[in-house]
Amino acid sequence: MMVIMQSGRPNTKAAAKEASHERIVAVAARAIRQTGYDGTGVADIMKEAGLTHGGFYA
């Protein structure tokens, strides 16, 4: 039997990624409602969310 010990620290990287995801989804939904699907781009969404364009793909 193998015992795996966990450090007890919260996974802050995963929490930050989840928060970014939630922010992107919220901003994207608002942008699509305002300008339509064809009028919304990744660059616009990421700028409004305060994140880098590359962060969308991370």
Query: How far is the C-alpha of 22 from the C-alpha of 40, rounded, in Å?
Result: 17
Q: Evaluate whether residue 43 is within a structural domain.
A: yes
Q: Is the pLDDT of residue 1 over 80?
A: no
Q: What is the domain count for the chain? A: 1
Q: To 10 degrees, the CA torsion angle through 39, 58, 18, 8?
A: -170
Q: To 10 degrees, the CA torsion angle through 7, 20, 56, 46?
A: -150
**Residue-level length of the chain:** 58
Predicted pLDDT of residue 58: 78
Q: Evaluate whether residue 41 is within a structural domain.
A: yes
Mean pLDDT for the stretch of residues 2-15: 72
CATH of the domain at 50: 1.10.10
Q: Evaluate whether residue 6 is within a structural domain.
A: no
Inter-helix orientation angle 12-35/42-49, to 10°:
120
Domain hosting 21: range is: 12-56
Confidence of residue 57 (pLDDT cuts 50, 70, 90): confident
Question: What is this structure's pTM?
Answer: 0.75
Backbone torsions φ then ψ of 22, nearest 5 degrees:
-60, -40
Q: Evaluate whether residue 3 is within a structural domain.
A: no
pLDDT averaged over every residue in the chain = 88
